[in-house]
């Protein structure tokens, strides 16, 4: 744990100054811009081959791993710990390939003065990008250590191997890493191919490594940015406008300035902030200032009672997501359905927080942003300073599940820190600020037509979706909420239609998992953002997979086929087949007996068509008196490629299922025509223990020797679809509009039977 008492803390310079034997010059590559998906690497050329994982973006080995003169190993990742467990799984990769105990690795996570630029920690990419880079860098450094030891020992390197922090020879020669590391130049480009250990030889990877952060978190250790209290720290609060387009008429600054403990009241245009000595004083001052403020407001929000119609009526730009240019042939029956999703909230339990500190013209911000470099760029622009004058250090916050208020809090901490040079300021959002100003997962509408041929196989697939970008992350100042209310406001970044293989709003919309003679997929991209929106766990894949797998469920019913067999008959990828079979078998799909008020549902998707394979079978219970649905149990088959930390995969998947269940059954952001009205847990309820299933069972299909596949978001879409399919099974009616609430269940049950 870094010493939070001493702001400044480590820097790459002082870290390396102490007896480092390696000559290091840190390399910076440009930020990835505003998408959480970095553009695919350019095609390899003779002088620039494609490298494993994020080594492509930062090819120097010493950007990732440093070994000092005493043999101490430090691993650098540009990724951040979000509760997904990378502080544990990334060191596992390094320890394995360097053949040292897990505890021998010190990990430094995202810090713009220290670590590689890995853009955003998002899209289930941590292990794929950073884990792969660290593992390969470690393997290559191991080979460099062996080569150097061979020179020193005067033996053939082929006779040497690495073992427990030493290079060991066939004849008992033994050199500690510290003995050879001083002679190695690690500031070298990584090679395209590494000599990776075989799965059977793993000592650290593939094992359920206990998370390094849990003992501290359960004993009151300093773990979160909220826990920082550097010497002389002041407490900041902001007063947000009551609605997006409000302008401040007046606020009683003079009175609030006189309140006990108040150090500064800040007004800049319509932006209001407070700095006070004690936290409770800051809260009181914030309340007084908020209560005194008078605003002009504008009714700019869509009519929530007609949200799908509104979304479809906004100006769109069409993009083709998939088109195999083959006409539909032999269709005899069709499933035709429209699905909708409301705006939904990240809902972090801890409202966002950041500490800002201006010293000698450099503003340091401790932040739980998912992207320290893009956030740094945005803050530099906000403050009107050069990028090197801002340092963003990732410090854990409450789980974010995407782009929540973290970056905004960082912006506010930077702004307020300018008011009190030399003094650290901790800005803590209040609950309703986190709720109302969250960049929500956007509302969506999807329309799908699946054509069945005479053999009851899916012969045609036509899909269209209406959606925003799912991405308004920082990179520029306009992405930070406060910037819009300053007397010299920054414009929001214009939204652009971008179609990539990994997808964003269109994520998973290309039905690659199924063998389809005809497919045509269109994204009606909505440029305007009447409600603030950005990236939330799984982006468009949540609603796309819900829609697609619900429709596949309906197609199976239309075909008179079993849900599992119908899917298997269209899946060619053996890894997909394996997870489907695992989920079905563990659920007891073939032996399942119908019971009144019970239903079973199935869904399958390969996340992003690129990351983990996941199939899920669920059983639900419907109280037909009240319409309440309860998830009873879930069985999952998942293939995450080479397994680093199996318990981490299970933890993330269990969490994904419960979170998706909550989105699916309960959640919709409420607003009137002017204001967001979901401002607390009364008005935006999420799952409590009363709704938690009896059991969740996860089988990981092992894939020794395969690459890592991102896991953290794989369950979101399939869980929603499986629940929808199970409701269909239980009540004989399908629900099309998320969330699947009791009133919709009752209405569906009361409706006449489907033709």
Partner 1 sequence: MSITLNVNGQDQTVNADPDTPLLYALRNDLELNGPKFGCGLGQCGACTVIVDGKPIFSCLTPIAVLEGKKIRTVEGLGTVEKPGPMQQAFIEEQAAQCGYCIPGMMMRAQALLEKNPAATETQIRTALEPNLCRCGTHMRILRAVKRAGELMQQAGTGGNA
Partner 2 sequence: MLRRLLIVLVVVVILAGAAFFSLVYKPAIDAVPPGQAQTFDTALVAHGAELAAIGDCSSCHTTAGGKPFAGGLAVPTPFGTIYSSNITPDRATGIGQWSEAAFQRALREGVDRDGNFLYPAFPFDHFTHVSDDDINALYAYFMTRQAVNAPSPASVLQFPYSIRQAMAGWDLLFLKKGPLQPVADQSDEWNRGRYLAEGLGHCAACHTPRNQLGAEDSSQQFAGGSVIDGWYVYPLDKNSPAPTKWDVASLTSYLKHGFAQGHGAAAGPMAQVTANLAGVNDADVKAIATYVASQMGVDSTTPTPAPTTMAAGEPSPPLNSGDSLNLPMTVPTGADIGQTVFATACSSCHTAGRAQPFGGVDLRQSSAVNADSPQNVVNMVLYGLPASDGKVGPIMPSFAGALDQGQLVALLGYLRSGAGKSAWSDAATVVADTLSGKTAVKSYSADGIERVPGAGNARTTP
**Interface map 350-379 toward partner 1 (x if CB under 8 A):** xx----------------------------
83 sits near partner 1 (criterion: CB under 8 A): yes
Among partner 1, partner 2, none, what binds residue 287 when CB lies within 5 to 8 Å by partner kind? partner 2
CA–CA distance, 711 with 613 (Å, rounded to integer): 9
20 sits near partner 1 (criterion: CB under 8 A): no
Contact region with partner 1 (CB under 8 A), list: 111-119, 273-281, 615-623, 739-747 = 273-281
The alpha helices in 403-540, defined as continuous H runs, are 406-417, 431-436
* Planar angle of CA 123, 125, 129, nearest 5 degrees: 150
Q: Which residue has the tokens 């920054």?
A: 490
Among partner 1, partner 2, none, what binds residue 750 when CB lies within 5 to 8 Å by partner kind? partner 2
Taking CA atoms, 235 is separated from 227, 364, 446, 726, 749, in Å, by 13, 16, 45, 49, 53
Task: Please select the residue that binds partner 1; options are 339, 401, 463, 523, rule is CB under 8 A.
Answer: 401
CA–CA distance, 130 with 78 (Å, rounded to integer): 7
50/681 with CB nearer partner 2: 681
Task: Please select the residue that binds partner 2; options are 25, 45, 219, 305, rule is CB under 8 A.
Answer: 305
690 sits near partner 1 (criterion: CB under 8 A): yes
Classify residue 129 by its DSSP letter: I
Contact region with partner 1 (CB under 8 A), list: 48-56, 544-552, 605-613, 687-695 = 687-695
Asked if 241 and 272 count as a contact pair (C-beta separation under 8 A), the reply is no
Task: Please select the residue that binds partner 2; options are 86, 138, 383, 430, rule is CB under 8 A.
Answer: 430
The alpha helices in 244-320, defined as continuous H runs, are 253-257, 279-292, 307-313
CA–CA distance, 407 with 439 (Å, rounded to integer): 11
Among partner 2, partner 1, none, what binds residue 219 when CB lies within 5 to 8 Å by partner kind? partner 1
Spell out where 493-641 has E strands. Answer: 518-526, 598-606, 613-623, 628-639
201/303 with CB nearer partner 2: 303
Q: Which residue has the tokens 């760029």?
A: 377
53/351 with CB nearer partner 2: 351
695 sits near partner 1 (criterion: CB under 8 A): yes
CA–CA distance, 384 with 362 (Å, rounded to integer): 12
Asked if 458 and 452 count as a contact pair (C-beta separation under 8 A), the reply is yes
234 sits near partner 1 (criterion: CB under 8 A): no
Hey, is 272 helix, strand or coil? strand
Question: At its nearest, how many Å lie between partner 1 and the CB of residue 431?
Answer: 4
Ordered DSSP codes for 526-539: E---SS-B--BTTT
Among partner 1, partner 2, none, what binds residue 671 when CB lies within 5 to 8 Å by partner kind? partner 2
Task: Please select the residue that binds partner 2; options are 77, 121, 364, 433, rule is CB under 8 A.
Answer: 433
CA–CA distance, 446 with 261 (Å, rounded to integer): 53
Ordered DSSP codes for 200-256: GG-SSTTS-PPPTTHHHHTTT---SGGG---TT-EEEEEE--SSTT-EEEE--HHHH
430 sits near partner 1 (criterion: CB under 8 A): yes
127/180 with CB nearer partner 1: 127
Contact region with partner 2 (CB under 8 A), list: 47-55, 389-397, 428-436, 448-456 = 428-436
9/38 with CB nearer partner 1: 9
Contact region with partner 1 (CB under 8 A), list: 32-40, 501-509, 512-520, 645-653 = 645-653
603 sits near partner 2 (criterion: CB under 8 A): no
CA–CA distance, 428 with 434 (Å, rounded to integer): 10
Taking CA atoms, 222 is separated from 211, 354, 395, 560, in Å, by 16, 14, 10, 57
CA–CA distance, 615 with 722 (Å, rounded to integer): 9
222-251: contacts with partner 2 (CB under 8 A)? 237, 239-240, 242
Taking CA atoms, 143 is separated from 95, 172, 530, in Å, by 14, 18, 55
674-693: contacts with partner 2 (CB under 8 A)? 674-675, 677, 679-688, 690-691
Task: Please select the residue that binds partner 1; options are 143, 173, 179, 213, rule is CB under 8 A.
Answer: 213
# chain residues binding partner 1, by CB under 8 A: 62
- Please name every residue paired with 699 in a beta bridge, in sequence order, or none if there are none: 637
Task: Please select the residue that binds partner 2; options are 216, 221, 588, 597, rule is CB under 8 A.
Answer: 597
Asked if 234 and 275 count as a contact pair (C-beta separation under 8 A), the reply is yes
Contact region with partner 1 (CB under 8 A), list: 415-423, 541-549, 588-596, 682-690 = 682-690
569-628: contacts with partner 1 (CB under 8 A)? none
725-744: contacts with partner 2 (CB under 8 A)? 742
Which residues of the chain form contacts with partner 1 (CB under 8 A)? 82-85, 208, 210-211, 213-224, 226-227, 229, 278-280, 283, 346-351, 396-399, 401, 428, 430-431, 647, 651-652, 654-659, 662, 680-682, 686-690, 692-693, 695-696
Which residues of the chain form contacts with partner 2 (CB under 8 A)? 237, 239-240, 242, 283-284, 286-288, 290-291, 299, 303-305, 430-433, 436, 596-597, 623-626, 662, 665-666, 670-675, 677, 679-688, 690-691, 742, 746, 750, 752
């Amino acid at each position: 744990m870094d010493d939070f008492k001493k702001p400044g803390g480590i820097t790459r310079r002082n870290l390396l100054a102490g007896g480092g034997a390696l000559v290091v010059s840190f390399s910076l590559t440009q930020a990835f811009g505003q998408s959480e998906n970095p553009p695919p690497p350019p095609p390899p050329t003779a002088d620039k081959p494609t490298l494993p994982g994020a080594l492509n973006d930062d090819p120097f080995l010493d950007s990732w791993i440093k070994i000092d003169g005493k043999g101490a190993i430090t691993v650098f990742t540009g990724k951040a710990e979000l509760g997904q467990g990378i502080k544990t799984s990334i060191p596992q990769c390094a320890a394995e390939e360097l053949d040292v105990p897990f505890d021998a690795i010190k990990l430094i996570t995202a810090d713009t003065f220290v670590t590689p630029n890995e853009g955003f920690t998002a899209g289930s990419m941590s292990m794929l990008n950073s884990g792969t880079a660290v593992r390969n860098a470690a393997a290559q450094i191991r080979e460099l250590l062996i080569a150097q030891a061979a020179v020193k020992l005067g033996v053939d390197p082929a006779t040497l191997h690495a073992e427990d922090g030493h290079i060991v020879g066939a004849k008992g020669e033994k050199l500690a890493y510290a003995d050879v590391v001083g002679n190695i130049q690690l500031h070298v480009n990584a090679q395209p191919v590494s000599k990776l250990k075989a799965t059977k030889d793993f000592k650290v990877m593939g094992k359920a490594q206990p998370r390094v952060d849990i003992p501290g978190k359960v004993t009151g250790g300093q773990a979160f940015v909220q826990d920082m209290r550097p010497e002389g720290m002041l407490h900041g609060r902001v007063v947000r406008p009551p609605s997006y387009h409000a302008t401040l008429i007046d606020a009683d600054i003079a009175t609030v300035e006189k309140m006990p403990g108040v150090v500064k009241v800040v007004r800049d245009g319509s932006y209001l902030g407070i700095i006070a000595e004690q936290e409770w004083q800051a809260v009181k001052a914030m309340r007084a200032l908020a209560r005194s403020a008078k605003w002009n407001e504008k009714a700019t929000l869509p009519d929530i009672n007609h949200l799908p119609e509104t979304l479809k009526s906004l100006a769109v730009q069409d993009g083709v997501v998939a088109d195999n240019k083959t006409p539909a042939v032999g269709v005899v029956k069709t499933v035709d359905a429209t699905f909708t999703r409301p705006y939904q909230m990240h809902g972090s339990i801890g409202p966002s927080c950041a500490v800002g500190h201006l010293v000698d013209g450099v503003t340091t911000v401790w932040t739980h942003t998912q992207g320290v470099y893009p956030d740094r760029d945005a803050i530099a622009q906000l403050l009107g300073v050069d990028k090197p004058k801002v340092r963003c250090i990732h410090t854990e916050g409450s789980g974010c599940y995407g782009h929540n208020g973290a970056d905004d809090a960082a912006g506010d901490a930077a702004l307020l820190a300018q008011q009190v040079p030399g003094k650290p300021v901790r800005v803590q959002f209040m609950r309703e600020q986190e709720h109302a100003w969250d960049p929500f997962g956007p509302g969506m509408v999807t329309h799908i037509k699946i054509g069945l041929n005479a053999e009851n196989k899916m012969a045609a697939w036509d899909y269209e979706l209406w959606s925003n970008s799912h991405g308004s992350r920082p990179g520029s100042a306009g992405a930070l909420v406060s910037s819009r209310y300053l007397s010299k406001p920054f414009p929001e970044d214009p939204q652009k239609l971008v179609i990539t293989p990994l997808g964003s709003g269109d994520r998973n919309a290309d039905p690659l998992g199924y063998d389809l003679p005809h497919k045509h997929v269109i994204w009606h991209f909505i440029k305007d953002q009447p409600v603030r929106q950005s990236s939330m766990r799984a982006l468009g894949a949540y609603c796309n997979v819900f829609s697609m797998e619900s429709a596949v469920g309906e197609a199976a019913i239309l075909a008179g086929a079993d849900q599992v067999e119908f899917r298997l008959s269209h899946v060619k990828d053996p890894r997909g087949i394996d997870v489907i079979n695992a989920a079905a078998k563990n659920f007891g799909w073939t032996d399942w007996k119908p019971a009144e008020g019970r239903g079973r549902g199935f869904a399958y998707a390969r996340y992003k068509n690129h990351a983990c394979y996941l199939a899920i079978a669920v059983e639900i219970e419907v109280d037909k008196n009240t319409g309440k649905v309860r998830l009873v149990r879930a069985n999952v088959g998942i293939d995450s490629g080479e397994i680093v930390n199996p318990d981490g995969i299970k933890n993330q998947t269990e969490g994904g299922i419960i979170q998706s269940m909550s989105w699916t059954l309960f959640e919709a952001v409420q607003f009137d025509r002017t204001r967001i009205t979901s401002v607390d847990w009364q008005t935006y309820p999420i799952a409590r223990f009363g709704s938690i299933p009896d059991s969740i069972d996860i089988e990981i299909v092992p894939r020794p020797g395969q690459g890592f596949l991102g896991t953290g978001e794989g369950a979101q879409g399939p869980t929603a679809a499986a629940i929808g399919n199970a409701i269909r099974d239980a009540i004989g009616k399908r629900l099309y509009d998320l969330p699947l609430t009791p009133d919709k269940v009752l209405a569906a049950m009361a409706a006449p039977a489907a033709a």
